[in-house]
Structure 1
Amino acid sequence: MLVEEVMKKEVITLPSHARIETALNLLNKYHIRHIPIVNDEKEILGIVSDRDVRDASPSIFDQNHSKQLKNEIQTIMSKPVITVHPLDFVEEVAGIFYENEIACVPVTKNNKLIGIVTEKDVLYTLIQLTGIHEQSSQLEIRVEDKIGTLPKITNLIGEYKINISSVLIYPDKREPNKKIIVFRIQTMNPIPVIESLKNDDYEVLWPNISGVKQ
């Protein structure tokens, strides 16, 4: 899935000379956590988070409370800013969040801001990609890491006229020469599929249903 399919196009922004109190009011009013800072050409200059604003906001008992909130936003904004392109993959954005320990990236095209993607957007997208929001059953199968295994299993599932919502594959930590394939299939009764898999000597890790041939 591409970034342009999940990004928010309506983005609250501020110029670098805006006051911190303005950012604070916008964060509270729109219940958002990040505000990109842009120039008149919509080019990214920086970004501020609710934490940046909170850290810059003095205690109400501080005599300089009002004065500090009138400082320009550019004094606390983070820069340079990591951005992504609308044609990047959402999975790549998840990697950016993890590696850089951030929770939001502006989306730019021709160096101009056109959208924003947050950690919540990515998490929701991954939920959709895994298919767990649909009525379905999950199968986990340990297989040899060799060519042709995946189509054989999908063909076997297809014999039962069952749609596959999603497929995930990851390395088996216990056995490096094997993979774990996770299927989400659109049935609430996976037992016939499990029996067929086991009859073909596939190792079904989940569900481990009693009474089904091991």
Structure 2
Amino acid sequence: MFVTRYMTPAPLTVSPETPVPEARKILKEKHFRHLPVTDPEGHLLGIVTDRDIRSVYPSSILRGEERQRILEKVESSTVDNIMSTRLSSLNLNSTIDDALILLEKQNVGALPVLDDDGKVIGIFSIRDLMRAYGELFGLYEKGNALVSVRDTGENDISRLVNILEKRNIPFTRVIRSRDTATGSGDESTIHIRVQTMQLSSIKKALREEGFEVI
């Protein structure tokens, strides 16, 4: 699944010469947190965030001449003075897994998406990531629920599918995950996305077949 499916396409951008107050106004009015900074051809030069802007404005605890001095300096500054230039980005072939790893590694809230010429074609945020995985795992489908069982490693997925089909229990996804929280990473869990809210009867059926429902 490529990020281009979920990104915000053709995002609003600013130039390096954009005054900081103007960038601040855009972020506030559009409810954005990130603004790509590009050259006239659309090539990425940097990113300015709401955090960058908040950090240069004077603290509310300052008073008098000092506050006014800082405020005047900020209001005469342009975004090239405060933007981040050490950037990570995604491309046309980046998947949502690539985005997840990079967002976590860089500890940022969004990443620009570039075409093969280095031009900004979109921006992919944590919210986009959540929407993508929500769709992937069926979170937005009506009348569904998640049931989890302990994985014994004895062809459990095949057994589960056979049981669900035999009992005419509709399901859309079967996923195995490692239980890294246990420390060893040797144990795993199987998650089944079922299209029914009759969870008690499903859990009972799985227990009768020897599964540990968790």
Report the TM-score range of the alignment, normalised by the length of the smaller protein.
Answer: 0.7 to 0.9
Asked if 1 retains the 8 angstrom alpha-carbon contact of 2:10 and 2:120, the reply is no
Bigger helix fraction: 2
Partner SS for 1:71: coil
Q: 1:105 and 1:174 mapped to 2: Cα distance?
A: 31
Asked if 1 retains the 8 angstrom alpha-carbon contact of 2:157 and 2:174, the reply is no
Q: Which amino acid aligns with 1:156?
A: I
> Structure 2 residue aligned with 1:76, among 76, 82, 106?
82
Asked if 2 retains the 8 angstrom alpha-carbon contact of 1:48 and 1:77, the reply is yes
Partner SS for 1:196: helix
Q: Which amino acid aligns with 1:22?
A: E
Asked if 2 retains the 8 angstrom alpha-carbon contact of 1:144 and 1:177, the reply is no
How many residues are treated as equivalent by the alignment? 204
Q: Which moved more, 1:71-80 or 1:185-194?
A: 185-194
Q: 2:173 and 2:11 mapped to 1: Cα distance?
A: 32
Number of the residue aligned with 2:199: 190
In structure 1, list runs of 5 or more residues that go unmatched: 206-214
> Structure 2 residue aligned with 1:117, among 116, 120, 124?
124
How far did 1:114 drift? 0.5
Number of the residue aligned with 2:68: 63
Identity of counterpart residues, as a percentage? 24
Q: 2:77 and 2:184 mapped to 1: Cα distance?
A: 58
Q: Which amino acid aligns with 1:8?
A: T
Q: 2:77 and 2:176 mapped to 1: Cα distance?
A: 50
Asked if 1 retains the 8 angstrom alpha-carbon contact of 2:177 and 2:189, the reply is yes
| TM, length-normalised to structure 2 | 0.85
How far did 1:165 drift? 3.4
User: Over aligned residue pairs, what C-alpha RMSD do you find?
Assistant: 2.1
Partner SS for 2:90: coil
Q: Which amino acid aligns with 2:160?
A: I
Q: Which moved more, 1:131-140 or 1:6-15?
A: 131-140
How far did 1:175 drift? 6.8
Asked if 1 retains the 8 angstrom alpha-carbon contact of 2:150 and 2:189, the reply is yes
> Structure 1 residue aligned with 2:146, among 135, 138, 154?
138
Q: 1:145 and 1:176 mapped to 2: Cα distance?
A: 14
Residue by residue over 1:48-69, the C-alpha shift from the partner in whole angstroms, topping out at 9 and shown as x without a partner, is: 1001011112358522323422
Number of the residue aligned with 1:208: none
